Amino acid sequence: MSSSVVARKDAATFLEGRLRDGYLASVPSSINTADTAARWPDLPLAPWQDTYTTLHMWTQIVGKTRLAHAPMVNHWWQVALYVTPRGLTTSSMPAGDGARSFSVDFDFISHELDVQSSDGRTANVQLEPQAVSAFYAAYLEALRSLDLSADIHPVPVEVEVAIPFADDHEHTAYDANSAHAWWVILREAHRVLERFRGRFFGKSSPTHFFWGSFDLAQTRFSGRRAPRHGGGAPNCPDYVMVEAYSHECCSLGLWPGSPGMAGPAFYAYAYPEPAGYAARGVRPRGAGYVDAMREFVMPYDVVRLASSPDDAILDFAQSAYEAAAELGNWDRAALDRPASEWP
């Protein structure tokens, strides 16, 4: 998911409007049990904004390693990271020497970055307050210590201001508690979105984490080619989006928010957007369409404070999919698993 600054501000206005409407205030606090609060922690954006920005750059550095080593897969699926019981991983990648494989893992429990080679050697970098430039240097040294390389373009993508990693002395924050809370939210969202994925017979992406836009995403496809995408993501070549949106699709996911927003939000969109999509209502109450983003958005607090967070996400995902599939004339008889068989 990549959005302009204007679109993100519009999303902030939408979310603030939901607060003004009194929706969240009307949700009984008693339903948010200790167990639910632990699994769906409160994560206001402002207190961890600096950590989020730094962590975004660190995930780009690691993600670009996957881009350099993993063979091409449709829609750039080979570059994404995956949620693990401790954080995020590249999964296994060929080392490029014809003999070994390796992986790189963010561990948000012990707060380490672990590099593991199939020859048994390991290296790590501590996740702690440090400049992006320092993390980048330590990461490259960790790879060199294992006789691994990372021939990457050392500049971030999909951000308005792209400071080369080696020159980024500005972003230094790392709050371990906030990073851990974000991973907990990703872990729970991933679990629910994988259930939703099981409702579909057609081509569907894994539930994966895109480091360019720093969001968790899952995409379904109609099976038909799409009009050529116009690109336009900041500091990102247009061919990236052309490949990503080569076929008709509908996507949903979770991102941590942007300045002016209270916190994270779930989103859903269709490409190409069918006529009538924006006017289509989605569930549950509290979700709605943001014109500037051309996406449905559901504030994370709608989920966090729901009597059943899982059901709130599944309701949003299903209703957004139905809007795209019905208005886009997808062959739902062939693509949809019967509701009686849903996981």
Is the pTM of the predicted complex or chain greater than 0.75? Answer: yes
243-301 residue pLDDT tens: 999 999 999 999 999 877 789 999 999 999 999 999 999 999 999 999 989 999 999 99
Local confidence band at 154 (pLDDT 50, 70, 90 cut-offs): very high
pLDDT at 2: 47
Token output for 123:
């290296």
Averaged pLDDT, 194-202: 98
Q: What is the model's pLDDT at position 32?
A: 54
Query: Mean pLDDT over all residues of the chain?
Result: 93
Rg (CA), the chain: 20
Q: Which two tokens stand for residue 88?
A: 């995020």
| pLDDT tens, position by position, 174-187 | 999 999 999 999 99
Per residue in 111-124, pLDDT (tens digit) is 999 999 999 999 99
Tell me the angle at which helices 309-327 and 176-197 cross, rounded to the nearest 10 degrees. Answer: 50
φ, ψ of residue 328 in degrees (nearest 5): -95, 5
Query: By the 8 A CB rule, do 105 and 113 touch?
Result: yes
Residue-level pLDDT at 157: 98
Q: Work out the percent of the chain whose per-residue pLDDT is above 90.
A: 87
pLDDT band at 18 (very low <50, low <70, confident <90, very high): low
Q: Please give the average per-residue pLDDT across 25-33, as a whole number.
A: 49
Q: Contact 324/270 with Cβ under 8 angstroms?
A: yes
Residue with tokens 């490259």: 140
Residue 128 has pLDDT above 80, yes or no: yes
Q: Cα dist. 278→24, 225, 274, 282, 317 in Å?
A: 23, 22, 9, 10, 15
Question: By CB neighbour count within 10 A (0-12 exposed, 13-18 middle, 19+ buried), where does 51 fall?
Answer: buried
Find the mean pLDDT for residues 23-43.
Answer: 70
**Confidence at residue 30, expressed as pLDDT on a 0 to 100 scale:** 40
Domain range summary for the chain, segments of one domain joined by +: 5-47+182-341, 49-71+85-167
pLDDT at 27 over 50: no
Q: Is the peptide bond preceding residue 299 cis, with omega within 30 degrees of 0?
A: no
Check residue 188 and give its pLDDT.
98
Please list, in sequence order, all residues whose beta carbon lies within 8 angstroms of the beta carbon of residue 7, skipping any fewer than 6 positions away: 290, 292, 293
Give CA 226 to chain center in angstroms: 23
Residue 4 has pLDDT above 60, yes or no: no
Share of residues in the chain with pLDDT > 70 (%): 91
Determine whether 100 is exposed, middle or buried from the number of CB atoms within 10 Å of its CB (0-12, 13-18, 19+).
middle
Question: Quick one: pLDDT at residue 11?
Answer: 61
